[in-house]
């Protein structure tokens, strides 16, 4: 299993593009691998043939663990099973994650082997399975074990439908669903009776008597404590961990601003007559990059040893997907024409929704733009995406009465933004200067076309 993302110890083998006994060429995609943030193509380094899949689709494995047996182009292997046995790898053993160092009783169990696992040519060295007792052997994937533990389901009570009877995620989810269906609902008579409470008439009220406290036994009312559970996905766990870390370790402060964008709206309409669609958010991303150029002290990130000032302006664009929020990063936005910004964000959004972003597209950047304006939200604040130092929350363009310089009240198109800032590398004055420049650029959008 390759290390496709920094700090990742476990990844999921989504699918094998090349099948067993199929020849492949260098740089051809062998498999797709899912990390906490993206789906990554695993490509071949040289021509060869896939002899045996050791980790089936939908299975997690430790980085460095063997996932397949391959041969060089033209190489002949007689007895594949014997070869695997010489490496102490069998089908059932290969599909179970090896136990990491310091494993406890709650850690996914390792397969039984008679000898340490030797590295397989072309796969690299990795942690090998550890020996354990032969009796009462239960094969279970790590994610299935975690889901069962969280749901309070004994592994021994499950029937595995994976390879060699292995318990996989689907088996646990079916058990959870079955338990919810089979569990008896709380009966109305089991609740203590509630006496109606008479209310005094309110003087001057159009109602003579206020309604009594609702009867819990009323037909059709939901039973107390009813709920459904959705197991956490890898993406949702990653989002929860990163944002919790952000609020706990990053001292946020917030600046709010408002810009009149009648000129921007008119410019956008004119450009969209002859070019692919450009959104207001594309203008915001470009304006944020220009502001970073003019206030370079905002284009920084905090590290343990120093404040790192970036040489180019890389801006993240938050994209909502069915599995959660991802933030692909546009590189060198200060040099991108507005049409290229629009095309890049559109490509990111399309690939993000089908899980086809590359890992390197999700890393880096000093700031992110997140926009809820398309949902009618006028103003909100966002949590910084570490290790970035700021995030700009953008609301909807809407009409408001505005007092002109001559004292007249006129309807104007306005947009409200909130900048969340990491106070460790950035002072309030620096962020205020950036906000002033950013709002001026939005109100003079012709500067975004230069």
Q: Are residues 283 and 155 in the same domain?
A: no
Q: Where a domain ends, among 130, 146, 166?
A: 130
- Residue 272 forms part of a structural domain: yes
Report pLDDT for 346: 95
Q: Are residues 126 and 264 in the same domain?
A: no
pLDDT mean across residues, the chain? 79
Q: Are residues 273 and 420 in the same domain?
A: yes
Please give the average per-residue pLDDT across 218-234, as a whole number: 69
Report pLDDT for 207: 38
Give 14-51 pLDDT, tens digit per residue. Answer: 889 999 989 999 888 899 888 766 778 888 888 999 99
Please check the confidence at residue 95 and state whether its pLDDT lies above 60.
no
Q: Are residues 166 and 289 in the same domain?
A: no
Residue 420 CB-half CA count within 13 A: 22
Report pLDDT for 126: 40
Q: Are residues 126 and 155 in the same domain?
A: no
- Residue 117 forms part of a structural domain: yes
| Residue closest to 423 by CA, chosen among 268, 305, 256, 249 | 249
Of 4-13, 19-28, 180-189, 433-442, the range with the lowest mean pLDDT is: 180-189
Please say if 62 is a catalytic residue: no
Report pLDDT for 267: 95
Report pLDDT for 416: 97
Most confident of 188-192, 205-209, 257-261: 257-261
Please check the confidence at residue 176 and state whether its pLDDT lies above 60.
yes
Of 204-218, 219-233, 335-349, 411-425, the range with the lowest mean pLDDT is: 204-218
Predicted confidence band at 236 (pLDDT cuts at 50, 70, 90)? Answer: confident
Report pLDDT for 402: 92
Cβ contacts of 346 within 8 Å, gap of 6 or more: 276, 277
Please give the average per-residue pLDDT across 94-120, as a whole number: 38
Residue 335 sits in a domain whose CATH number is 3.30.559.10
Please give the tally of structural domains in the chain: 3
| Residue closest to 391 by CA, chosen among 285, 310, 275, 290 | 285
Q: Are residues 110 and 159 in the same domain?
A: no
- Which of the residues 232, 252, 358, 423 is marked catalytic? 423
Of 4-8, 108-112, 272-276, 284-288, the range with the lowest mean pLDDT is: 108-112
Please check the confidence at residue 415 and state whether its pLDDT lies above 50.
yes
Predicted confidence band at 263 (pLDDT cuts at 50, 70, 90)? Answer: very high
Q: Are residues 290 and 416 in the same domain?
A: yes
- Residue 261 forms part of a structural domain: yes
Please give the average per-residue pLDDT across 361-367, as a whole number: 94
Please check the confidence at residue 183 and state whether its pLDDT lies above 60.
no
Please check the confidence at residue 390 and state whether its pLDDT lies above 50.
yes
Q: Where a domain ends, among 70, 104, 130?
A: 130
Report pLDDT for 427: 97
- Residue 323 forms part of a structural domain: yes
Report pLDDT for 335: 95
The span from the CA of 170 to the CA of 160, in Å, is 9
More confident residue, 408 or 275: 408
Q: Are residues 110 and 165 in the same domain?
A: no
More confident residue, 179 or 274: 274
- Residue 242 forms part of a structural domain: no
Predicted confidence band at 137 (pLDDT cuts at 50, 70, 90)? Answer: low
Q: Where a domain ends, among 130, 162, 190?
A: 130
Q: Are residues 346 and 300 in the same domain?
A: yes
- Residue 101 forms part of a structural domain: yes
Q: Are residues 33 and 122 in the same domain?
A: yes
Tokens found for residue 107: 């850690």
Tokens found for residue 426: 């950035």
For residue 204, the SS3 value is coil
Give the distance, in angstroms, between the CA of residue 118 and the centroid of all CA atoms in the same chain.
35
Q: Are residues 32 and 157 in the same domain?
A: no
Please give the average per-residue pLDDT across 284-298, as a whole number: 98
Domain that holds residue 348: 253-449
Report pLDDT for 63: 84
| Residue closest to 342 by CA, chosen among 277, 263, 427, 270 | 277
Residue 154 sits in a domain whose CATH number is 4.10.320.10
Most confident of 30-34, 119-123, 201-205: 30-34
Report pLDDT for 109: 38
Residue 97 sits in a domain whose CATH number is 2.40.50.100
Q: How many CB atoms lie within 10 A of CB 407?
A: 6
Report pLDDT for 65: 87
- Residue 280 forms part of a structural domain: yes
- Residue 230 forms part of a structural domain: no
Most confident of 119-123, 127-131, 161-165, 443-447: 443-447
Please check the confidence at residue 340 and state whether its pLDDT lies above 50.
yes
Please check the confidence at residue 395 and state whether its pLDDT lies above 90.
yes
Of 12-26, 141-155, 283-297, the range with the lowest mean pLDDT is: 141-155
Please give the average per-residue pLDDT across 176-189, as a whole number: 55
On whether the CB atoms of residues 33 and 56 are closer than 8 A, the answer is no
Task: Classify each residue of 66-100 as buried b or exposed e, where b means 16 or more C-beta atoms within 10 Å of its C-beta.
Answer: bbbbbbeeeeeeeeeeebbeebbbbebbbbbbbbe
More confident residue, 96 or 427: 427
Of 160-174, 361-375, 384-398, the range with the lowest mean pLDDT is: 160-174
Report pLDDT for 113: 33
Report pLDDT for 367: 98
Please give the average per-residue pLDDT across 250-269, as a whole number: 96
Q: Are residues 354 and 427 in the same domain?
A: yes
On whether the CB atoms of residues 85 and 69 are closer than 8 A, the answer is no
């Amino acid at each position: 299993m390759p290390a496709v993302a920094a700090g990742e110890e476990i990844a999921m083998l989504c699918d094998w593009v090349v099948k067993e006994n199929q020849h492949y060429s260098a740089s051809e995609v062998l498999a797709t691998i899912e990390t906490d943030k993206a789906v990554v193509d695993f490509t071949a380094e040289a021509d060869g043939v896939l002899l045996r899949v050791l980790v089936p689709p939908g299975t997690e494995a430790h980085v460095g663990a063997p996932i397949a047996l391959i041969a060089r182009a033209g190489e002949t292997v007689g007895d594949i099973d014997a070869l695997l046995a010489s490496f102490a790898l069998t089908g059932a053993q290969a599909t179970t994650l090896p136990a990491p160092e310091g494993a406890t009783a709650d850690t996914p169990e390792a397969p039984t082997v008679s000898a340490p696992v030797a590295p397989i040519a072309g796969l690299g060295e990795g942690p090998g399975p550890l020996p354990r007792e032969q009796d009462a052997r239960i094969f279970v994937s790590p994610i299935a074990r975690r889901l069962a533990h969280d749901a309070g389901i004994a592994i021994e009570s499950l029937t595995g439908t994976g390879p060699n009877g292995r318990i996989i995620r689907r088996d646990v989810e079916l058990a959870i669903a079955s338990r919810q269906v089979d569990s008896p609902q709380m009966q109305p008579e089991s609740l203590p009776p509630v006496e109606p409470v008479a209310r005094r008439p309110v003087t001057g009220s159009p109602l003579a008597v206020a309604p009594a406290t609702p009867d819990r036994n009323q037909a059709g009312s939901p039973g107390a404590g009813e709920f459904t559970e959705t197991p956490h996905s890898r993406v949702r766990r990653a989002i929860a961990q990163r944002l919790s870390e952000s609020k706990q370790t990053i001292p946020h402060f917030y600046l709010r601003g408002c810009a009149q964008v009648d000129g921007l709206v008119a410019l956008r309409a004119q450009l969209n007559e002859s070019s692919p669609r450009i959104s207001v958010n594309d203008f915001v991303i470009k304006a944020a990059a220009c502001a970073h150029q003019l206030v370079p002290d905002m284009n920084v990130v905090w590290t343990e040893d120093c404040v790192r000032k970036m040489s180019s302006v890389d801006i993240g664009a938050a994209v909502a997907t069915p599995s959660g929020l991802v933030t692909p990063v546009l590189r060198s936005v200060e040099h991108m024409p507005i049409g290229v910004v629009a095309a890049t964000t559109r490509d990111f959004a399309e690939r993000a929704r089908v899980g086809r972003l590359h890992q390197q597209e999700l890393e880096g950047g000093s700031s992110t733009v997140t926009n809820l304006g398309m949902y009618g939200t006028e103003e909100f604040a966002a949590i910084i995406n570490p290790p970035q130092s700021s995030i700009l929350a953008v609301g909807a363009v809407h009409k408001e009465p505005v007092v002109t310089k001559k004292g007249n009240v006129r309807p104007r198109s306005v947009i409200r933004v909130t900048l969340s800032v990491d106070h460790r590398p950035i002072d309030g004055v620096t962020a205020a200067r950036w906000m002033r420049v950013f709002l001026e650029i939005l109100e003079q959008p012709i500067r975004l076309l230069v």
